[in-house]
Amino acid sequence: GGRGGGGGSKTTYREGMRQFLLGIGRKVAVINLDPANDILPYEPACNISDLVSLDSAASACELGPNGALVYCIEYLASNVDWLLEELDKLRDHYVLLDMPGQVELYTHHGSVRSVLHALQKQNHRLAAVHLVDAHHCSDASKFISVLLVTLSTMVQLEMPQVNLLSKIDLIESYGDLAFNLDFYTDAPDPERLLPFLEDDGNSEFTRKHQKLSAAICELVQDFSLVSFGALCIHDRESVWAALRSIDKANGYVFGGQEGADASVFACAASELEWEDERFGTVQERYMHAEDLSELLPPGASRRPQVDTIGEGRRAGEGEGEETGEGRGVERESG
């Protein structure tokens, strides 16, 4: 389910990923299922506004913006055959579903889950992409909230989900991190964040809800489901790493829908990453130099150059692996 809040992460991700997929030779189609998307920077293969209008729903039912949005998604769930017919026209495409941004649609409302499960029953292989602004890592209380929302969406949607810390280049724009980046991406022990809640400037509120915060951390740790990748949409290597995770989640790497072949075993044994490859390069590029003494070589202070998506792709990227179908579903927590 695609979710996007403030800051434009969902819009930037969708357009950046669309261009990247086109650059590596995939046939891409974007379906807009967000009724509030009035101005689209792309030409959608189909648009929910052809089925139901947000403004018409608001005026006819005397609803506010959020109520009208929920009505539109419920209407889509009741008329999901329309979406299935549109997807049948795109059988040879890698499809991105541009979803609404209201978090309640994914944490406890059932319409989005109903729509996505209807697609899965028709053998559409889906993966949810959940975007979280990386700067939330610098605030312990916000990051604990992010963990709870992420876990709630994973449990509610019941489908493969890739969680990404977006805008990783701005990760320390609101303050330094209390731990190394791998603590936030793997979230092994969120209870270690509890002492830092006193630093949020609202100690009375923090003391009042200390037990609640501890219970949330314990819940997240008990489920042991939440982890994040790092994404800078302007960094080719970062986008490529995110796409590899998404392709594995939606089954694209396993070949066509007619059945798995040797590519299943090739995928299992390929593209292994060491811990320093997953986090060390990201930290070197985007975190403050004074925080990286253990990562940078002696005398090194300049950050390495970052290849951008617009500079093309490296030889061999995406070649010989373009089989099967996939569906990407975007969501952001901001």
Q: How would you write the pLDDT of the chain (334 residues) with one tens digit per residue?
A: 445 444 457 888 999 999 999 999 999 999 999 998 888 888 899 999 999 999 999 999 999 989 999 999 999 999 999 999 999 999 899 999 999 988 999 998 999 999 999 999 999 999 999 999 999 998 898 999 999 999 999 999 999 999 999 999 888 887 888 888 889 999 889 999 998 887 665 667 777 888 999 999 999 999 999 999 999 999 999 999 999 999 999 999 887 544 445 454 454 445 555 555 555 566 666 665 555 444 444 444 434 444 555 444 444 444 444 444 455 565 554 4
Inter-residue contact 29 to 125 (CB < 8 Å): no
Inter-residue contact 2 to 129 (CB < 8 Å): yes
Inter-residue contact 97 to 31 (CB < 8 Å): yes
Predicted pLDDT at 8: 55
Predicted pLDDT at 53: 92
Predicted pLDDT at 282: 64
At residue 238's C-alpha, the angle toward residues 234 and 241, to 5°, is: 145
Phi and psi at residue 83, to the nearest 5°: -70, -40
Predicted pLDDT at 6: 47
Exposed/middle/buried for 63, CB within 10 Å: 0-12, 13-18, 19+? middle
Q: What is the DSSP string of 276-307?
A: IIIIIHHHHHHS-GGG-TTTSPTT--SPPP--
Q: Comparing C-alpha atoms, which of 87, 83, 72, 77 is closest to residue 35?
A: 72
Distance (Å, whole) CA 323 – CA 152: 33
Q: Which one-letter DSSP state was computed for residue 109? A: -
**Taking the CB of residue 268, how many other CB atoms lie within 10 A of it?**
12
β-strand pairing of 94-98 with 126-133: unpaired
- CATH class name, domain 10-295: alpha beta
Inter-residue contact 304 to 284 (CB < 8 Å): yes
Tokens of 270: 């390929």
Inter-residue contact 98 to 327 (CB < 8 Å): no
Inter-residue contact 238 to 16 (CB < 8 Å): no
Q: Which residue's structure tokens are 């929302």?
A: 149
Tokens of 305: 């150059």
Torsion angle in degrees (nearest 10) through CA of 230, 39, 107, 78: -140
Q: Comparing C-alpha atoms, which of 319, 327, 181 is closest to residue 249?
A: 327
